[in-house]
Amino acid sequence: MQKINLKSNTLEELESVIISFGEKKYRAVQLFHVIHKQNIDTIKDIAVLPKILRNELAQKYFIGSLRVEKRFDSQLDGTKKYLFRLHDDHLIESVLMKYKHGYSACLSTQVGCRMGCLFCASTKGGLVRDLTAGEIADQVYQMQKDSSVRISNIVLMGSGEPLENYENVIKFLSIIHNEHGQNMGYRHITLSTVGIPDKIRQLADEALQITLSISLHAPDDELRKQIVPVARKYSIQSILDACKYYLEKTHRRITFEYALIQNLNDAEEQARQFAGLLKGLLCHVNLIPMNSIKESNLRPTSQKQVQKFHDVLESKGINVTIRRELGGDINAACGQLRRDYYKDS
């Protein structure tokens, strides 16, 4: 019989497990605390639980952890990029970033990705599999442990499309928010998506206070189809309608990400068009000078042109920032680390 990983269970699920053994509910809180706050990963070591219960649990369950395969430390700004090995030997990446206000973690939600975005390295080998809730959460725990820091912000912007792994991501959010574990406020969590309208609506109905970030990257559907292939299925308008619904339900300002690619989506006329789309919407635009990746000939927009694009948006009353690049010396762009590592080993 294959054992089940307790780290992926929400507190409510742990309560069902505990009750199935004829124990009181408060034992589930103790178990949750031990797994998600104290990082104990051997059931037999959970001293707070009765020995009989530990033995019974250990027959059906285990507590799975990621292994730090490699760590890359930036000499420029303290950013650390982690390569983790999963129990089935797949590799994922996560990034730990230091800001004035604390530490922020960029987490992966899938091994690989099937969205196929033109400039993204994570998608080049396709989707391998979804990550479990425990595997997403453990990226936080392992980075905190290895670097002896407390992570105060999370962005789901690593490899994978979080809304394609919806259930596990929702479970992860419940786990990381729970007061008996990391107790992280939803307002400190950002979910970045390529924009899947029905899933955005579903997320809105969960009424969580997380920040939704949409990877738009183009001001019209024709161009977007070239850059983000999933745009063949969902029009920009249908995404914006779903965003309005998200706003109504959560009152949370939405972020739009726009990676600037030389001579493709970076003209001032395109900035004007983009500003037109967002008119009247409570939002923020994050301009990302594209990271070059080996797998494509696309080039980043020059700093000067990035600034021009920024200024057009600003002149139209759009709230806009240019993303500061962190970890430039260890970067190898989004998802590249894992691919390089596979090739070398």
93 touching ligand SAH, by CB under 6 A: no
Closer to ligand SAH by CB, 9 or 153: give it. 153
Rg (CA), the chain: 21
Closer to ligand SAH by CB, 66 or 290: give it. 290
266 touching ligand SAH, by CB under 6 A: no
First to last CA, the chain: 32
Please identify which of the residues 15, 23, 93, 164 carries the catalytic annotation. 93
117, 184, 204, 231: residue in contact with ligand SAH (rule CB under 6 A): 117
Closer to ligand SAH by CB, 94 or 215: give it. 215
215, 250, 265, 270: residue in contact with ligand SAH (rule CB under 6 A): 215
Phi, psi values for residue 149, rounded to 5°? -135, 170
104 touching ligand SAH, by CB under 6 A: no
80, 161, 318, 339: residue in contact with ligand SAH (rule CB under 6 A): 161
9, 132, 193, 265: residue in contact with ligand SAH (rule CB under 6 A): 193
Count of residues near ligand SAH by CB under 6 A = 18
Please identify which of the residues 113, 117, 120, 334 carries the catalytic annotation. 334
15, 130, 257, 266: residue in contact with ligand SAH (rule CB under 6 A): 257
119 touching ligand SAH, by CB under 6 A: yes
254 touching ligand SAH, by CB under 6 A: no
157 touching ligand SAH, by CB under 6 A: yes
Closer to ligand SAH by CB, 57 or 133: give it. 133
The residue type found at 340 is D
> C-beta of 257: minimal distance to ligand SAH in Å?
4
Residues in the chain: 345
Could you give the strand order of the β-sheet that contains 91-99, starting from the edge strand earlier in sequence?
A: 67-73, 80-85, 91-99, 102-106, 151-156, 189-193, 211-215, 254-260, 283-289, 320-322
Known active-site residue 93: yes
Site for ligand SAH in 273-302 (CB under 6 A): 288, 290-291, 293
CA dihedral for 332, 334, 338, 342, sign (positive or negative): negative
> C-beta of 213: minimal distance to ligand SAH in Å?
7
> C-beta of 323: minimal distance to ligand SAH in Å?
9
Residue pair 199/163 in contact (Cβ under 8 Å)? The answer is: yes
Site for ligand SAH in 17-56 (CB under 6 A): none
> How many Cβ atoms are within 10 Å of 272's Cβ, its own excluded?
15
Closer to ligand SAH by CB, 157 or 278: give it. 157
Closer to ligand SAH by CB, 9 or 123: give it. 123
259 touching ligand SAH, by CB under 6 A: yes
**Of 25-33, 113-121, 232-240, 267-275: span binding ligand SAH (CB under 6 A):** 113-121
Residue pair 338/92 in contact (Cβ under 8 Å)? The answer is: yes
The catalytic residue positions are 93, 334
- Chain residues that interact with ligand SAH, rule: CB under 6 A: 115, 117, 119-120, 157, 161, 192-194, 215, 257, 259, 288, 290-291, 293, 333-334
